[in-house]
Amino acid sequence: MEKLLVIGSSGLLGQRLTDLGKDKYEILGTHNKHSPEKESVHLDVTNKENVISVVQRFKPDVIIDTHHLPNADYCETHQRDAWRINVEGTKNVAEVAGMYSCKYVFISTDNVYDGEKIKQYTEKDKAHPINYYGKTKLMAERVIETLNNDFIIARTAVLFGPHKGSIVAKLPFPNWLIQELRHNKEVRVVRDQYNNPTYADSLSEFLFALLKKSRSGTFNVVGKENLNRYDFSIKIADIFGLNKKLIRQINSAELNQPAKRPKKLALDISKAERATGLVGLSIEDSLKKFKASL
């Protein structure tokens, strides 16, 4: 069995990868500030010696790196931290992966695109981030490409899925919405930001399939449908049987967010579908699977 190191197994995607991959790989997960319930080792990507020592001991064939400094607004106002963790941290892991001949899988974001294109973005479109979070993730991608080792970059968006414990620093949007509506709280949701929400289990399956088929390079890997946050919220309320009247639609300008948000991030996933033989999930199927998993 191949060995897989999952960096960030205390986070949402990292948890799903370690759960879903256990019959495919011998897995070691890592945490930084939040120790998960399951076995994992401490690893801080900003400390290269720490990365070397974990990789030297475990000897992985593959490293899936899910670390990031989350929250675009926080990155906008804490740019030095964002650079250190999102760019320098990635460089450390990518270099160590190269030193020990591990395949390196990096999770990037739809925020590397500017959101001005009317049609769907393909991997061939020019990346042009408009917020600092997107800039750091794109710079991390460039570092990985320059090292010229075997890598997969998966650009994803608005992740959601089951997660355990008080591990994730900020709840994923759908998880937060369900929590608020269940407590009968009114929520304000923007109508003018479009993405392809992505079920973390589906992203995990795409990553495993890309690895199994020995693919390399950059792939958009998101859910099949593009919709604005308000419409997404209504679908969530529908599937979970929650009160839609509590959802109030607003425009982004009303939120005064420090980080600019791209208007319409619609991603074409046909390259990943062709490479894996899988198909992206619809919103309805994603939410039904999510509900069933809770």
Ligand X SMILES: NC(=O)c1ccc[n+]([C@@H]2O[C@H](COP(=O)([O-])OP(=O)(O)OC[C@H]3O[C@@H](n4cnc5c(N)ncnc54)[C@H](OP(=O)(O)O)[C@@H]3O)[C@@H](O)[C@H]2O)c1
> Does residue 158 belong to the site contacting ligand X (CB under 6 A)?
yes
115 CB-side CA count, 13 A: 21
> Does residue 6 belong to the site contacting ligand X (CB under 6 A)?
no
Q: How far apart are CA 128 and CA 113, in angstroms?
A: 5
Task: Return the H-helix or E-strand segment holding 253.
Answer: none
CA angle 233, 9, 236 (to 5 degrees): 10
> Does residue 34 belong to the site contacting ligand X (CB under 6 A)?
yes
Considering the complex, what minimum distance in angstroms separates the CB of residue 183 from ligand X? 22
Given the complex with ligand X, which of 77 and 241 has the nearer CB atom? 77
> Does residue 209 belong to the site contacting ligand X (CB under 6 A)?
no
Considering the complex, what minimum distance in angstroms separates the CB of residue 161 from ligand X? 9
> Does residue 43 belong to the site contacting ligand X (CB under 6 A)?
yes
> Does residue 280 belong to the site contacting ligand X (CB under 6 A)?
no
Reduced to 3 states, what is the DSSP secondary structure of residue 107?
A: strand
> Does residue 255 belong to the site contacting ligand X (CB under 6 A)?
no
Q: How far apart are CA 105 and CA 284, in angstroms?
A: 28
Per-residue exposure over 146-158, b if at least 16 CB sit within 10 Å of its own CB, e if not? eeebebbbbbbbb
Among 8, 60, 115, 223, binds ligand X (CB under 6 A): 8
Binding mask 114-153 for ligand X (x = CB under 6 A): ----------------------------------------
Among 66, 92, 220, 276, binds ligand X (CB under 6 A): 66
> Does residue 286 belong to the site contacting ligand X (CB under 6 A)?
no
**Using an 8 Å Cβ cutoff, are 98 and 40 in contact?**
no
> Does residue 12 belong to the site contacting ligand X (CB under 6 A)?
yes
Among 67, 103, 235, 264, binds ligand X (CB under 6 A): 67
Given the complex with ligand X, which of 136 and 276 has the nearer CB atom? 136
**Using an 8 Å Cβ cutoff, are 122 and 220 in contact?**
yes
With CB under 6 A as the contact rule, which of the stretches 19-27, 54-62, 65-73, 97-105 interacts with ligand X? 65-73
Residue 214's contacts (CB-CB under 8 Å, 6 or more residues apart) are none
What burial class does residue 289 get, using C-beta atoms within 10 Å of its C-beta: 0-12 exposed, 13-18 middle, 19+ buried?
middle
> Does residue 107 belong to the site contacting ligand X (CB under 6 A)?
yes
Considering the complex, what minimum distance in angstroms separates the CB of residue 34 from ligand X? 4
Q: How far is CA 67 from the centre of its chain?
A: 9
CA nearest 105: which of 191, 241, 204, 12? Answer: 204
Q: Is 184 left (phi over 0), alpha (psi -120 to 50) or beta?
A: left
> Does residue 94 belong to the site contacting ligand X (CB under 6 A)?
no
CA nearest 150: which of 204, 92, 107, 99? Answer: 99
Among 6, 11, 135, 229, binds ligand X (CB under 6 A): 11
With CB under 6 A as the contact rule, which of the stretches 27-35, 118-126, 177-185, 275-283 interacts with ligand X? 27-35
Residues lying near ligand X in the complex (CB under 6 A): 7-8, 10-14, 31-34, 43-46, 66-68, 70, 85, 89, 107, 109, 156-159, 168-169, 172
